[in-house]
Amino acid sequence: MIWKRAATLEQLNQTGADCMVGHLDIQITRMGDNELEGTMPVDRRTTQPFGLLHGGASVVLAETLGSLAGYLCSEGKQQVVGLEINANHIRAVREGRVRGVCKAIHVGRRHQVWQIDIFDQQNRLCCTSRLTTAVIDPA
């Protein structure tokens, strides 16, 4: 297991309740030994004007999962902040919920790299994203 912090799904979901994560109804649904999963609805909050899942909303889901995973891999008063994120949008989604699966590519002392794949309800890959984070020690 890669996690250094103990947390429940309820605790992880509470961290985002009063910010963009809560507004978009992103829910953390599974914490495995080496991966974190969450879902997000495809609705009026997350679509673009033509009714498709907005690419920016996919990136919010990806960064949410990668940042939480990064936090779980840090210790004490360390903080994890995003340095760079990219996303390739592969398949359009018009309805339902999408599911993001976050896995570590690299978890080091000073930076981390996370792979986040987003699937539709038919388990088809819709977006693949990579997030690089920095681990910051308290001053």
Q: Are the beta carbons of 79 and 5 closer than 8 angstroms?
A: no
List, in sequence order, every residue forming a beta bridge with 117; answer none if it has no partner: 101, 128
Alpha-carbon distance of 10 to 48, in angstroms, equals 30
What's the CA angle centered on 6, arms 116 and 130, to 5 degrees? 15
Q: Kindly compute the dihedral angle of the four CA atoms of residues 30, 74, 57, 38, in this order, to the nearest 10 degrees.
A: 0
Helix (H) and strand (E) counts in the chain: 3, 6
Indicate if 95 belongs to the active site: no
Tell me the two tokens of residue 51. 């009714």
Catalytic option among 35, 37, 63, 75: 63
List, in sequence order, every residue forming a beta bridge with 134; answer none if it has no partner: 81, 111
Indicate which residues carry an active-site annotation.
Answer: 63
